Chains A and B, each alone.
Chain A
Amino acid sequence: MIKIIVLIVGLAIIGFIGWWFFGKHTTEEVAADVQDQQQEIDIEVNGGYSPETVVLKQGVPAILNFTRKDASSCLDRVVFSDFGINQELPRNQKEAITIDTTTPGEYQWACGMDMFHGKLIIK
């Protein structure tokens, strides 16, 4: 009897994992504030990036402020492979990254191990 309960609970957890990690979940998309010919946005790094998708205006110099709250060494660098940026993120310290917004498009950024991803949309 107890084994059947354990089996059902186990399968239920598997189902939950599948739904939680693979199901469709909306991610927040945030546009940067534009002020005095400059746009700026704060990104918190804690178990991933929030916001995960950042929208920038083309042609306006942009600064992304990353602050890493997470202790994981997984997230201790942020890499923008299209821009040649590989910035170390010391914990609890705001790191400003300047992005060249001349070419519109969608760009990925990732952590140093390519496990966590974020998206940059320039339009």
Chain B
Amino acid sequence: MSISQRFWISLILSLPMVANMILMPFGWLLPGGAWTQLVLTTLIMLISARPFWESAWASFKKHHSNMDTLVAIGTVTAYVYSIYAMITSQDVFFESAAFVTTFVLLGQVFEERMRNNASNAVEKLANLQAKDAEVLRDGQFTKIPLSEVVVGDMIRVKPGQKIPVDGIITEGTSSVDESMVTGESMPVEKKMDDAVIGATINGNGTFTFKANKIGEDTMLSQIVELVKKAQNSHAPIQNLTDKVSDIFVPIVLILAILTFLIWYVFLDASVANALIFAVSVVVIACPCALGLATPTALMVGTGRGAKMGILIKDGTVLEAVNDIQTVVFDKTGTITVGKPQVTDIVGDTKQVLSIAASLEENSEHPLAAAILDRAKTDQAQTQPTTGFKAIEGKGVEAQINDQRGVVGNDKLAQDLVFGDALKQQMVTLQNQAKTVVLVGLDQTVIGLIAIQDVPKDTSREAIADLKARGLKTVMLTGDNQRVAQAVAEEVGIDDVIADVLPGDKADHIADLQKTGKVAFVGDGINDAPALTTADVGIVMGSGTDIAIDSGGIVLVKNDLRDVDRALALSKKTFNRIKLNLFWAFVYNVLGIPVAAGVFYFIGLSLSPELAGLAMAFSSLSVVTSSVLLNKAKIKPKRNVQVD
């Protein structure tokens, strides 16, 4: 029989006794008196409460005890005593046994619902998966079930359809809603050679892509797996409750017996009164609230994170975040875009860009890519070149329209006519930590192109958010001091540690750890040692690989502001755990003495029914408080408004 069926039966059978209790002062008595109560309560005990005894007995035989032990002993004591009282014609309290059973079951019905509610984040994620895919087979696109898709399949996605698996677009363009996987609320534009993520929703275009990850390898599957692990992980703070839960129930039983003995033997209370106090003690104690405090909050917190594109590895990480004092960032790819870009063009923009692009077309230099990118966006025309050759250590040259064009670094200046005004601008640009490329035509410098790995749009805001939280920010980079300093100033970072060899990053983290706990934010592939050394490693997402091994937190979308959100979420969740534990402890520590009648002489006492009600709602309130984490506001401290 299900818990809710047991609840309804016991509620309906209890109602006549409720009526009896309320209407007694008005002179109405339950027909049949104690006999009717006996029949109703016996039915409740046999149908609704029996599973409690069975479970209690089964655990007793194994030297264990649980919630059900307490409920069983409490209700059976009240029931058996009432039968004895009936025989000896004293006052009975059948209704205590009946009501306690009803209330406890009511609590369990709600609690079951809430617990399912807390754990359904993973289910929701897993259900995002598409059911079928339109795959190119024998020259035709046919719909096949998702399980039959293999790596290398060409898959067509029409507007509004779900993208079935991960892959790379081979044809067509579209905008894709990736919010369900990455948490990014704006649709993302996709064109040829861009990666698409399975389970995201195609917008307005039709495109074909080549599947490169299926089944368990897809990003969604990796996220689901990770969230599952995180939700069921153990937080160190739980060690306390683990210890308490083992001894909790026997201690409560001992306390209940002591309560009875003290009231009956030393305070001369009647057997009935002493028993009521003892039953109240047994019924009010609630070890479940303690046991539920951490896991439910962890479940909701990590599940909520997954929805925001923030994957937290486990409860240990969540707890570690709480003591972080310094956040260290890798520069390239974390604070900056990670790809050099043209920032300034001096001279006749069109001509300078056109000549530079024409010459660099054949070059594989990383700076060349930046120039060609800019030429493409500005739609600068390239011209045919002949006689292309490299000038050792300086740049490249070639013939354009019978003129000699050169592109290169500042060492070229010696060979060319270089106007003072341009020279001045070159120095200014270099002081801004930009790499300056000279463009020359017929022995004269005609213009400059400044290139820089620019900070991401959101970096400045992200750093400000962290500083508002009172955290120290540090940038760790292999770049030279001047470049690093310029970027740091632009985004507002406190300290810069430049000229660091990749292998030394972990040592610098260890140094910083001497003054407090450190979080390191990096890209996961190159920064693995630093991420592992730091107290909390935060990996910025790149592509569809979730590299959790080195990090404690993975940010699915490449947005630095998520560092602050991740910290905020972790802290909120951990605080909720602490709050839950606090209330669960306080509830038991206060509830038991009140139930035992310690405050009886100042008029404060609890009947077993009220104790049962309190018990039912203590675990319910803990679970509710955890579920409410879903509604808690996660926002930067900076914008907190006082109202």
Residues of A within 8 A of B (CB): 3-4, 6-7, 10-11, 13-14, 17-18, 20-23, 25, 46-48, 50, 52, 69-76, 79-81, 83-86, 112-116
Residues of chain A with a CB closer than 8 A to B253's CB:
17
B57 near A74 (CB under 8 angstroms)? no
Residue B238, interface by CB 8 Å: yes
CB contact under 8 A between A25 and B258, given known A6-B265, A70-B55, A84-B232: no
Residues of chain A with a CB closer than 8 A to B51's CB:
71-72
A48 near B3 (CB under 8 angstroms)? no
Residues of chain B with a CB closer than 8 A to A72's CB:
51-52, 55, 66-68
Smallest distance from the beta carbon of A113 to chain B beta carbons, Å? 4
Of all chain B residues, the one with the shortest Cβ separation from A12 is: B257
A48 near B250 (CB under 8 angstroms)? no
Smallest distance from the beta carbon of B230 to chain A beta carbons, Å? 8
A73 near B232 (CB under 8 angstroms)? no
Q: Mark B43-58, 1 if CB is under 8 A from A, else 0.
A: 0000000011011111
Residue B91, interface by CB 8 Å: no
Residue B511, interface by CB 8 Å: no
Residue B119, interface by CB 8 Å: yes
Contact check: which of B62, B242, B288, B295 meets A74 at CB < 8 Å? B288
Report Cα–Cα, A6/B292, bound state, in Å.
37
Pick out which of these stretches binds chain A: B107-115, B185-193, B434-442.
B107-115
Smallest distance from the beta carbon of A14 to chain B beta carbons, Å? 5
Of all chain A residues, the one with the shortest Cβ separation from B245 is: A115
Residues of chain B with a CB closer than 8 A to A76's CB:
112
Residue B234, interface by CB 8 Å: yes
Residue B599, interface by CB 8 Å: no
Extra pairs beyond A73-B108, A84-B228, A114-B295 (16, CB < 8 Å) = A3-B264, A6-B265, A7-B261, A14-B254, A20-B60, A20-B250, A22-B247, A47-B60, A47-B66, A48-B59, A52-B62, A72-B67, A74-B55, A84-B233, A115-B245, A115-B291
Smallest distance from the beta carbon of A51 to chain B beta carbons, Å? 11
Residues of chain B with a CB closer than 8 A to A70's CB:
54-55, 58
Residues of chain B with a CB closer than 8 A to A4's CB:
265
Residues of B within 8 A of A (CB): 1, 3, 51-52, 54-68, 108, 111-112, 115, 119, 225, 228-234, 238, 241-242, 245, 247, 249-250, 253-254, 257-258, 260-261, 264-265, 287-288, 291-292, 294-295
A84 near B264 (CB under 8 angstroms)? no
Identify the interface centre among A23, A74, A80: most chain B CB within 10 Å of its CB: A74
Contact check: which of B66, B111, B119, B250 meets A17 at CB < 8 Å? B250
Report Cα–Cα, A18/B62, bound state, in Å.
14
B232 near A85 (CB under 8 angstroms)? yes
A114 near B67 (CB under 8 angstroms)? no
Report Cα–Cα, A102/B291, bound state, in Å.
30
B66 near A18 (CB under 8 angstroms)? no
Identify the interface centre among A52, A74, A79, A114: most chain B CB within 10 Å of its CB: A114
Residues of chain A with a CB closer than 8 A to B59's CB:
47-48, 116
Of all chain A residues, the one with the shortest Cβ separation from B57 is: A47
List 20 interface pairs A-B (beta carbons < 8 Å), by A numbering.
Answer: A3-B264, A7-B261, A17-B254, A21-B64, A47-B55, A47-B60, A70-B58, A71-B1, A73-B112, A74-B288, A79-B232, A83-B229, A84-B230, A84-B231, A86-B228, A86-B232, A113-B291, A114-B238, A114-B241, A115-B288
A21 near B245 (CB under 8 angstroms)? no
Residues of chain A with a CB closer than 8 A to B232's CB:
79-81, 84-86
Residues of chain B with a CB closer than 8 A to A75's CB:
55
Contact check: which of B233, B241, B260 meets A81 at CB < 8 Å? B233
B257 near A10 (CB under 8 angstroms)? yes
Identify the interface centre among A71, A81, A85, A115: most chain B CB within 10 Å of its CB: A115
B234 near A81 (CB under 8 angstroms)? yes
B65 near A6 (CB under 8 angstroms)? no
Contact check: which of A17, A18, A80, A114 meets B291 at CB < 8 Å? A114
Of all chain B residues, the one with the shortest Cβ separation from A21 is: B250
CB contact under 8 A between A112 and B115, given known A47-B62, A84-B228: yes
Residues of chain B with a CB closer than 8 A to A11's CB:
261
Report Cα–Cα, A113/B246, bound state, in Å.
12
A3 near B254 (CB under 8 angstroms)? no
B66 near A25 (CB under 8 angstroms)? no
Report Cα–Cα, A48/B56, bound state, in Å.
10
Minimum-distance CB pairs A-B, first 9: A47-B58, A84-B229, A47-B59, A71-B51, A113-B291, A72-B55, A21-B250, A48-B62, A46-B58
Smallest distance from the beta carbon of A15 to chain B beta carbons, Å? 10
Contact check: which of B54, B115, B261 meets A71 at CB < 8 Å? B54
A25 near B63 (CB under 8 angstroms)? yes
B64 near A116 (CB under 8 angstroms)? yes
CB contact under 8 A between A74 and B54, given known A6-B265, A115-B287: no
Report Cα–Cα, A6/B257, bound state, in Å.
11
Report Cα–Cα, A121/B519, bound state, in Å.
34
Residues of chain B with a CB closer than 8 A to A69's CB:
58
Report Cα–Cα, A17/B73, bound state, in Å.
13
A21 near B287 (CB under 8 angstroms)? no
Of all chain B residues, the one with the shortest Cβ separation from A108 is: B234
A84 near B225 (CB under 8 angstroms)? yes
Of all chain A residues, the one with the shortest Cβ separation from B119 is: A86
Residues of chain B with a CB closer than 8 A to A21's CB:
63-65, 247, 249-250
Report Cα–Cα, A47/B56, bound state, in Å.
7
Smallest distance from the beta carbon of A108 to chain B beta carbons, Å? 8
Smallest distance from the beta carbon of A107 to chain B beta carbons, Å? 11
Smallest distance from the beta carbon of A86 to chain B beta carbons, Å? 5
Report Cα–Cα, A84/B234, bound state, in Å.
10
Residues of chain A with a CB closer than 8 A to B234's CB:
81
CB contact under 8 A between A74 and B68, given known A47-B57, A85-B232: yes
Report Cα–Cα, A85/B233, bound state, in Å.
9
B66 near A74 (CB under 8 angstroms)? yes
Report Cα–Cα, A13/B504, bound state, in Å.
65
Residues of chain A with a CB closer than 8 A to B63's CB:
20-21, 23, 25
